[in-house]
Amino acid sequence: MNDSFYAELADKSLNGERLTDAECKQVLNTDSDNLLPLLNAAFKVRQTYFNRDVSIHILNNAKNGHCPEDCSYCVQAKSSDTDITDYPMKTEDEIMLEAKSAYESGAFRYCMVFAGRGPSKKRVEKLSNLVRKIKETYPIQVCLSPGLIDDADAEQLKDAGLDRLNHNLNTSETMYEKICSTHTYQDRLNTLKSAQKAGLETCSGMIVGMGESAEDIIEVAMKLRDLKSPSIPVNFYMPIEGAPLAENVDPFKELSPERCLKILCLMRFLNPEAEIRAAAGREIHLRSMQGLALYPANSLFMDGYLNTKGSNMEGTLQMIKDAGFKPKTDFNLDALLNAAKSKESDLRDPLLADGEVILKRKEDLSPFSA
C-alpha cells in the first residue's frame, strides 16, 4: 500500500463514505513502514473536526464494587476476587468536591461511574439532583455511567441537565456471551437507545485486547457509526489478578503500541466527527508512543481510571503540550502545568509505564472522604 491509499481513506471518511470491510482490515494490517502515513491520514480527519484540541476527562468512581454482574474483565464483578476497596455511593459533599477539583484541574468533562446492574428509581432521583447541582455550580460537562436504564430514567436525567450518558458496548455481539452472562449485548443497546430517545448524547466504546478478532473490532466500530455515538472511548485491556479474564487472555501479546494506534485510526475513519478517546490502559500498552495517539484521538482520561492508577496530571498535560496540542479548558495550559507540578502525586509518569497494573488505594479513590 502506498501513501495514496491512506489519503483516499481520509477523503472517504471526510466525505461521509463508509469504509469497506476490506479497507478496514487493511488499516488494521498496516505494516510498520506505513504507520506514519496512516496516522497522517487519520490526523487529517481529526484536525478537520477538532483542530488540535484535546478534551480531558476525569473519572469519579462514585460507587465501587458489590456488583451483581459477572463481566469477566471487571474487578468489581461478583465473579472477581480481586482485593479492591468496596464502598457505597459517595456523599453529595464528596462528589461536589471532586467535581470542583476536576474543573480546576482543566477537565472539560466530569464523569461519574456507579458500579451495579442499574439504578433504582430512588437512585435515579438522587443522581438527577446531583447532576443539577453540579451543572449549577461549575461550568463543566457532566457524563454519567449508571448501568442499565430505561426510557423514564433517561428522560429524568436529561431534564436534570445531564450532558452525556456512558454505556460501552465493550465488544461485538458475537463475542459478548464470552465475557458476560448476566446481561446481554441487546441490554446494552437498549440502554443507549433509551438515552438517545430522551435526547441525551451517548458515550459508548469498546475494550480491545480481550481475545477479539479483527472482525470483532470492525463490527463494533461499524455499530458505533450506525448509532452515531458522539463519544467513543477505546480502552486497552489491563489484566488484573482476580478477574477471570486475566487468567485466560494476555493482552500484551495482542496489543503492541502500533496495534493500538491502528485501532484508533480505524475508529477515527469510521467515526470522523466523534470524540475518540485513548482511554484506560494507554499508559501500559502505548508506552512511549502515547503522544502519537493524539493524531487519531482527541480525548484522554487524566488522573487514572476506575480502580487502577494512570498517568499523573503533570505527565498528561506535558505530553499534550509537547505533542503540539492544547487542552479544551477555561484555564491556561502553562498555569495548569505549574499547578500540577506543585501537587504531590504518586501516579505513574506516562513515559515510565512498564506494563505493571497498579490498583488505586482508598485515598486515591476517595480523596475528599471524611
CB proximity list for 252: less than 8 A, separation 6 or greater: 285, 355
DSSP H or E segment with residue 49: helix 35-50
Residue type, 350: P
Tally the domains of the chain.
1
Domain-located, residue 8 = no
Compute the distance between CA of residue 101 and CA of residue 338 in angstroms, rounded to an integer: 15
Domain-located, residue 227 = yes
Domain-located, residue 33 = no
Query: What cell was used for 349?
Result: 509518569
Domain-located, residue 35 = no
Tens-digit pLDDT string for the chain (370 aa): 677 999 999 999 999 999 999 999 999 999 999 999 999 999 999 999 999 999 999 998 988 888 999 999 998 888 888 888 888 999 999 999 999 999 999 999 999 999 899 999 999 999 999 999 999 999 999 999 999 999 999 999 999 999 999 999 999 999 999 999 999 999 999 999 999 999 999 999 999 999 999 999 999 999 999 999 999 999 999 999 999 999 999 999 999 999 999 999 999 999 999 999 999 999 999 999 999 999 999 999 988 898 888 888 899 999 999 999 999 999 999 999 998 888 756 555 554 556 778 888 888 888 887 6
Quote the domain boundaries for residue 289.
52-365
Compute the distance between CA of residue 14 and CA of residue 68 in angstroms, rounded to an integer: 43
The pTM for the full model equals 0.95
Domain-located, residue 257 = yes
**Surface-to-core class of residue 257, CB atoms within 10 Å of its CB (0-12 exposed, 13-18 middle, 19+ buried):** middle
Domain-located, residue 346 = yes
Domain-located, residue 248 = yes
Q: Is 288 helix (H, G, I), strand (E, B) or coil?
A: helix
Cα-Cα-Cα-Cα dihedral sign, residues 221, 227, 228, 233: negative
Domain-located, residue 241 = yes
**DSSP assignment of 123-144, as one string?**
HHHHHHHHHHHHHHH-S-EEEE
CATH number of the domain within which 201 lies: 3.20.20.70
CA torsion, points 284, 178, 218, 145, in degrees to nearest 10?
-70
